Chains A and B, each alone.
Chain A
Amino acid sequence: MDETTVADMANGDGSRIKWKFLDRIVSRQGPFADPDNPIGEQALQMLSSVKVLVIGAGGLGCEILKNLALSGFTDIHVIDMDTIDVSNLNRQFLFRQADVGKHKAEVAARFVESRVRGVKITPYCGKIQDKDEDYYMQFAFVVCGLDSIEARRWINATLVGMVDEENPDSLKPLIDGGTEGFKGQSKVILPTMTSCIECQLDLHAPRAAVPLCTLATIPRQPQHCIEWAHIIAWDEERKDITLDNDDPEHITWLYQKALKRAEDFDIPGVTYSMTQGVVKNIIPAIASTNAIIAASCCNEAFKFATGSNPSLAYPPPDANNYMTYSGDDSIYTYTFTHEKKDDCPVCGNLAKTMEIDPSWTLQEFVESFAERPEAQLKKPSIRSEAKTLYMQSIASLEEQTRPNLAKKLSELVSDGEEIAVSDPALQISFKYKLVFKS
């Protein structure tokens, strides 16, 4: 970057009067700050010279963009593939009724730019997977406000993969937040140095799926009837139409199917709203929780960029790196060190030990990956040391390897053998050492 002084850094009119409060705190030595950190102009220089990437322009993303702009960051990029829906308006405060249908990243960027003079926000309306390492390398750090665990895992693995020990600039801190109802968490990840998203995966175990036979033959709950309509009835009766969760006609059809089935079994409680909730896997979300978690993430970003106070994860590896927040019953936070796992498939170097029943078929084994809290893979492909056991991502290979599905694991692998598991949703491969249950 050019030799610029803090005074003429892009603040619209070039003056820093607007940043009176922020400048004051950054130019005074704090009692908890590392005394080696620069204060004043040098710290502010950091703040306005770095490029920051925000992933997600939804509930958390809107807040994050506002907060970063008012933290003095001036060069912000934002990625989001979604368009605005009416149900976003109760919390995604950069959007109005008239914006429904437009791209979130674009509308959010323009709004914050117009409100906070001097900040430049560059939107990209698409998927994070469209971008390569060169793109991610330009940022000082990444702030994530996503509702999808797949996207989190993808960016996490990408940032871990980018770390080059010879080049300190290749280490991009990842600041990540998530919410559900009155609860949430935020954490700071220093790829390869502290616990990563994949190390933490079992903290976010998927809800146990209801067995298919329950849905098909012995439903007991209204949700079972809805899942039946969703998974079974639709395929039987409307095979040629792709189910669109956002099409009210489709939801209505599922609702009526589920209602009829519930009546047949005397099960009370199926509603349209519940149908929508089950089919779209809706997580309750409110403005205030998003505000809390996004502000916590941006506070860490601000501390990290200015050195004005220690951020989470500093100094690695022992510092606290994870905060959980719960507002249901009074308010509790738990701030702790989540430890890096040596057998993490992304940032560790050991194969994870997995106990298996050798009498399982490969089919059963493949299906079990979706529900394993530490794996959560929906379309796994599996290779042993010797050969490809099952490959789902390429049709011809799928056909070739399909006969293996019926075979017992004991026929395919030996006790103690290592396997590699991959999934099209993630660009990494998981290593497991299989140990036979006796």
Chain B
Amino acid sequence: MSWFADLLGPWRGFTVTWRQMFKPKLTTRYPKEKRVKPQRFHGRHALNRYPDGMEKCIGCELCASVCPARCIYVRGEDNPPDDPVSPGERFGFVYEINMLRCIFCGMCVEACPTEAITMTHLFEMSVSDRQEGIFTKDVLLVEPDGTPNHPLPDTPLIDIKELRLGDGWLRATSPSGRAEFEGVEAWSPSARMGGLAPAEPAQEARGESQESRVKSQEARTKSQEPRTKNQEPRGDGEEGTDD
């Protein structure tokens, strides 16, 4: 009966399109519905503050020097002794990011020693001329209560709720530069409303010795290996039954 199957072959394509008609659609009707973005989404930057309202930026210009697109311009200045802006010696006097050039790679976030610059989930940043594309400190800096700032009112297209979502930036090692986090992966989200993320317990506090931690890590990688091997691209099983 193989000749019969060959004869039907061209017609089976029609059953495929017929079935697809009744499947759920992949379209997200964007301004109406918004997808939940991945936690580490690279959106617009925010300059954070400490819970007491001090700016985290110390004007070190590491972000500017690491930026591959050369879109960050920072000028530091000495803190006024009577009214310091940041807890350090200096603070970011001028902080500008040219969003028309930014490639949202997140290198500035990685480079920042004080977690002053982080990324939010906001990606709707259209501007009407090139000058507006340069985001200055009064846009980037969060409000004293930790709320990210936006120059325009909250409309369906400028979703300030997105700005409030911390980016949950994954640091490979040593968040906040604390020695007890060496080698520990930790979530260190940007400052949301109210300031710092809850601190991860230090390794001593968790009662883990160096050895047990290494062991548990090995066990974790081993258990992950078969899973990655067996992982199939989505939708393949579906296609396989068709042919």
A binds B: no
